[in-house]
Amino acid sequence: MRLHILGICGTFMGGVAALAREQGLTVAGSDAQVYPPMSDQLTALGISLHSGYDADALQPAPDEVIIGNALSRGNPAVEHVLDAGLRYRSGPQWLGEQVLSGREVLAVAGTHGKTTTTSLLAHLLESAGAEPGFLVGGVPANFGISARLGQGRSFVIEADEYDTAFFDKRSKFVHYRPKIAILNNLEFDHADIFPDVAAIQRQFHHLVRTVPGHGRLIVNAHDHHLAEVLAMGCWTPVETFGLDQGDWQARLLHEDGSAFSVHHHGRCLGEVHWPLLGTHNVLNGLAALAAAAAQGADPTALLSAFAEFRNVKRRMELIGEVGAVRIYDDFAHHPTAIAATLAGLRAKVGSARIVVALEPRSNSMRLGAHAAALAPALAAADEVVFLQRPELPWDAAGVIATLRGHGRAVADTGQLVDAVATSVRPGDHVVFMSNGGFENAPRRLLAALQTAG
């Protein structure tokens, strides 16, 4: 069978392509821009790639076209699929029907922390000998690939609330039918498709409705939006997790979150010592452990596996160090995530200077939906360089003014790299925050400092 995937270079659709290829299907795909590292990964799997969405790539006609949610009516490839009467499905629908059917699915949902928690859960189950399949919205360092079928009965998937496709406006996760679902947190996001948090809650409740009575919901005990979702109706046993709260509890041993004890129903299971920082990651870890236990793994035996966990690329990834300046790349998409990441770093580095280079790139950030929350989220930074591209539809001056003289805006990435390069001092920690490629700015800064030094 021949598949053609439209939007193949996105992390999710690239994972779908890898799984289809592993099943023995002939896979090709198109994207607006075909570029590394995803293009290299897909080419290595024997997947042919086409740059652009012209209809020529769909000749001869494939048996089926998988359409990513980035494509809409008016796209030349989409119009050709419809006019030619080609068979088509969304990525989540194909995945649910062709990969997840018959598997025991563990889905990780939430506004923040999905990729880290999914990667950690897959790592814990692997450590328990379960050989799970997985699809992650990133590349987990412990596996080096974003997706695999696996040999065991378990399949771990990052469960995104974003819409499925132009012809299916439900959240992706309604296609996954999990046995175990982590509800990590819920805040307003995706302002391009959701009018308010209540609309997101309705989608989360659609997910809750699909979890069977013999399954499990693993729910953040601190999140009132999730409590409201469960109040809409719940037919599945619930276990909660939190800091000193819930059925599964973590108690910090180090303020930066690098060590904590784990307690289940009042009984201490032991301690976790691992390389991640921040209370947000402690909660991610607790959720993953609870889900692994619900799937039958021994949670006490898994505590030592945390020390071997290596996070996904671009989650506070240390790019390099030069002249005692440490440079990190972080996938920042929401003020809450920004605040949590900086709080963890602050607890780790103490009084050392933290410099943030921020690109507001997510749809919600670009639309200004989070503008009022950005300055408070950046409070732990000593200096902020804000990338305000000319096409940004709102003025960052209000955010800069609230930073009490520690912030400035620049119009392009070259100016941003130059501004950071001239202001850093030995001992600084520089964090680049964007959910896009940021035009390779972290590595450009590293190269500039190496040249200057």
- Residues making up the binding site: 110-116
CA distances from 6 to 23, 222, 276 (A): 19, 39, 35
Amino acid letter, 19: L
Cα 449–chain centre separation: 30
Sign of CA dihedral 179, 182, 187, 191: negative
CB 125 within 8 A of CB 154: yes
Residue 294 to residue 287: CA distance in whole angstroms? 11
Residue 338 to residue 365: CA distance in whole angstroms? 12
Beta bridge partners of 243: 250
Residue 77 to residue 57: CA distance in whole angstroms? 8
Closest CA to 327 of 340, 343, 345: 345
CB 89 within 8 A of CB 278: no
Q: Which residues have C-beta within 8 Å of that of residue 401, sequence separation ≥ 6? A: none
234: burial class by Cβ within 10 Å (0-12, 13-18, 19+)? middle
CB 287 within 8 A of CB 241: yes
Cite the annotated binding site for ATP by residue number: 110-116
- Longest CA–CA span in the chain (Å) reads 63
Residue 140 to residue 448: CA distance in whole angstroms? 29
Strands (E), 58-186: 64-67, 88-90, 104-109, 133-135, 147-148, 154-158, 163-165, 168-171, 180-183
